[in-house]
Structure 1
């Protein structure tokens, strides 16, 4: 699978920045989301949070659990539940790949970012991830600090 270029027309609504620190991301997928009208309007306003959310594969379907999309502020009589499970739209082979990975010990499905693509459709970038241990996190911090210091040294003396 070739790496995708970032599209300048896509609008990122929510990002899970902590995911790359807490998990080893092995494979990413792009999924559509089954949303209600007020949820789409709320996301277009830039509101939404996927920090504490995760995805779960059950009965041949994948669900986004605990994603926060606030109610749209209008006089509409029908709203939506803010943290309801939302169905993710994926191909069957992607779903089987995800459920096989979930059956392995220590793997989970982590949402990376929620955005609108160039056609204006809400998409979720999802990754199969393995949890990092404390030592792995320390190593990541050391590597990041060293890269920052190295860049500073090269800039000042190079």
Structure 2
């Protein structure tokens, strides 16, 4: 039986991406989570501002939270503007949260945000990954394997 293809998320506009995460962590599983945002946060994200390079997700009290994500204040906001690095609630099903908690507590995984994007309906979403940290040697092996795959595809392309 053929292995099922992994489901892809409907990313229309990617706002922030954590490129370093795929190098520093071995990604095991991905989840799509909604973000509970304030009005000026949505406007700042639509303007293309946001940074998740140093952020992480955690589960507190049965709820998932995105911590240390930086969405700068909206330039045309007034005194009701938001705080840039406040913890933001992630909207997930209870079963997904339980699965994450089990993996984090028992197996030593980390919840890493990979990207913030808007889907086709215009909703802000976060792509979360259950990941294990890589050691320096694992990173070297990853680089070596990635370079070999690139060279292999180049050779196959040249030979037809």
In the alignment, the residues of structure 1 paired with residue 108 and residue 71 of structure 2 have an alpha-carbon distance, to the nearest angstrom, of 28
CA RMSD of aligned residues (A): 1.7
The answer on whether the counterparts of 2:9 and 2:32 sit within 8 Å (CA) in structure 1 is no
Instruction: State the secondary structure of the residue aligned to 2:82.
Output: coil
Counterpart among 133, 136, 139 of residue 134 in structure 1: 136
TM normalised by structure 2 equals 0.90
TM-aligned CA deviation for residue 155 of structure 1? 4.0
Residues 96-145 of structure 1 deviation map (CA, whole Å, 9 limit, x = unaligned): 11111111253110001100010000000101111111111100100111
Residues 145/119 of structure 1: CA separation in 2 closer, same or farther (3 Å cut): same
For these two proteins, the number of residue pairs brought into alignment is: 157
Instruction: State the secondary structure of the residue aligned to 1:139.
Output: helix
In the alignment, the residues of structure 2 paired with residue 57 and residue 112 of structure 1 have an alpha-carbon distance, to the nearest angstrom, of 17
The runs of 5 or more residues in structure 1 that have no matched partner are none
TM normalised by structure 1 equals 0.91
The runs of 5 or more residues in structure 2 that have no matched partner are none
**More displaced 10-residue stretch of structure 1: 103-112 or 39-48:** 103-112
The answer on whether the counterparts of 2:40 and 2:77 sit within 8 Å (CA) in structure 1 is no
Residue 112 of structure 1 pairs with residue 107 of structure 2: no
The answer on whether the counterparts of 1:49 and 1:68 sit within 8 Å (CA) in structure 2 is yes
